[in-house]
Structures are given as C-alpha cells and as structure tokens.
C-alpha cells in the first residue's frame, strides 16, 4: 500500500553518539519512500556539558547534528504518525526522550494525541540489553494517549532474521558496530507500516 503525501510523519529521537541517529534517518527515509511528508527531529540534550566533553564520540556527534531541528510539541500536533527512537537506559527509555514526552500533557488533555499512529525503534549496547522492554515501556505512553501502536511484526522475511517484532532495533556492541542493512531496514519497515496505517485512517475519516 502506498500513502499519499497528505500523511505527515514525525521521527522524534534521542541519540548520544550517533547509533540511534542512523536508525532515525532510516525511519525518516522509509516514511518518505512510503509517500509521507516527514520531519526528523532530535530531542534536546540534558546531560551536563562536562559529561559530554568527557566522551569524544558524544561531543563529536552533538556537533554533527547541530543542524537537525529540536523537537517541539508542534511536531507532534502536526503529525498523523510518529516514530519515537531511543537508546535503552537500564531497559528503559532514555531520560532525554522521556523528558520531551513528559511535556505533552496539554496535547494529551485536549485530545490532540488521540488516534494518531505510533511506532518505535531502539538501540542497545548488548544483545540482551533491553530491546523489547524499552519499546514496551515506550508504548505504555501511547496507550495513555489513546494512540494506535503499529509494529513491524514478522511481516517481511528479514524480520525472521532481525528478530524484533516490536520495532526497529540494533545492537551496537557498546558503540563498536553501526547499524547494518538489516537493522536499518527494520526501522524503515516500521516507518512504512506507520505511514500505511495513518493513511488508511485518514481515508476512512473522509
């Protein structure tokens, strides 16, 4: 199914050293190829400057993405579909993304997040570092909003190899391995399915 460009998708993510950023770009590209208007947005960094400067990769990445706009509540209100991306932190969503989510109370109370379509992608340092628990925790937010969660499932052959039906995911081996073709494809597939679902809802609504 191909959507038309009246479907708007926001890819909102946090990345410290660039791994999740690469997954976010793949998700945005997947949404665009599926016919959506897209916004790629990073959430603000909360870590103290001294912590960032102590990690060369972290400081370098923050400089590299200085031209990527920071996410605002307008991006959420604008979007028909949203993909959230995060590295796992102790099996949970990174504080930077969670802080942004915690600012959405006004949109939620006014019903502006209801019936939007959501998906997610995640990166971890180790193979069993929290892929599933992080995505499932993220989806708890969507349930409260009355949003619609869409996952990649096992809908394409590569998913039986990539192996995460909950969302796009990648294991970086503590930053040593960038996302490979299968990991990027899982993020793109998740995005395409969000676009397709959002497009179907818009058509049904007339």
What is the number of structural domains in the chain? 1
At 109-156, the pLDDT tens digits run 999 999 999 999 999 988 888 999 999 999 999 999 999 999 999 988
23 burial type by CB count under 10 A (0-12 exposed, 13-18 middle, 19+ buried): buried
Q: What is the pLDDT of residues 67-102, one digit of tens each?
A: 999 999 999 999 999 999 999 999 999 999 999 999
| CA–CA distance, 157 with 143 (Å, rounded to integer) | 29
**pTM attached to this predicted model:** 0.94
Q: Which residues contact 159 (CB under 8 A, 6 or more apart)?
A: 152, 153, 165, 186, 189
Domain membership flag for residue 2:
no
Domain-located, residue 172? yes
Structural domain containing residue 15 = 8-205
Evaluated on CA atoms 167, 68, 31, 119, the torsion sign reads positive
Residue 45 belongs to some domain of the structure: yes
CATH number at residue 82: 3.40.50.360
The answer as to whether 39 is a domain residue is: yes
Residue at 1 is within a domain: no
* 48 located within any domain: yes
């Amino acid at each position: 199914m191909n959507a038309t460009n009246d479907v708007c998708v926001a890819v909102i993510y946090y990345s410290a050293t660039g791994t999740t950023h690469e997954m976010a770009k793949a998700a945005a590209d997947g949404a665009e190829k599926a016919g959506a208007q897209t916004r790629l947005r990073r959430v603000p960094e909360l870590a103290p400057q001294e912590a960032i400067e102590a990690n060369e990769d972290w400081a370098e990445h923050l400089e590299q993405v200085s031209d990527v706009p920071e996410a605002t509540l307008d991006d959420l209100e604008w979007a028909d579909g949203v993909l959230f991306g995060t590295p796992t932190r102790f099996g949970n969503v990174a504080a930077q993304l969670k802080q942004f989510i915690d600012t959405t109370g006004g949109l939620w109370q006014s019903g502006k997040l209801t019936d939007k379509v959501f998906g997610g992608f995640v990166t971890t340092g180790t193979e069993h570092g929290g892929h599933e628990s992080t995505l499932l925790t993220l989806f708890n937010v969507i349930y409260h909003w009355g949003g619609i969660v869409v996952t990649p499932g096992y809908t394409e052959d590569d998913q039986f190899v990539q192996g995460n039906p909950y969302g796009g995911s990648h294991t970086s081996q503590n930053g040593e391995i960038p996302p490979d073709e299968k990991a990027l494809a899982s993020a793109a597939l998740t995005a395409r399915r969000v676009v397709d679902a959002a497009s179907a809802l818009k058509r049904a609504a007339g």
